[in-house]
Amino acid sequence: MSLDRLKTLVKILKFVLKSQRGSQLVEEGMLLGISLVAMAVVATMASNILGSIKSAYDSARSSLDQFLTEVLRDDFNKIWNFIFGGGKG
């Protein structure tokens, strides 16, 4: 970008910032930028919360599966021994 183009761009920006129509445009642009940043923050927080919930669910499910497997195995062994082991429990 040449120096003349840069000077022209700065003049245009100064004009836009000083004029009433330009200031409204700048305000709306700033509000749009702020709202996009806020949406990104909220989306990140929601993603983290959902990830934590999924992790907790997976952990609870794994623990329950392990517990039920151990409990049912012990009970099944007792029933098997009672039926086929001659009634000794």
Closest listed residue to residue 29, CA positions, set 14, 12, 11, 37:
37
Q: What is the mean pLDDT of residues 53-71?
A: 90
Token duo for residue 38: 């806020």
Percent of the chain with pLDDT over 90: 37
Name every residue whose Cβ is closer than 8 Å to that of residue 17 and which is 6 or more positions away in sequence: 23, 26
Q: One-letter amino acid identity for 57? A: Y
Looking at the predicted structure, is the pLDDT value of residue 9 above 70?
yes
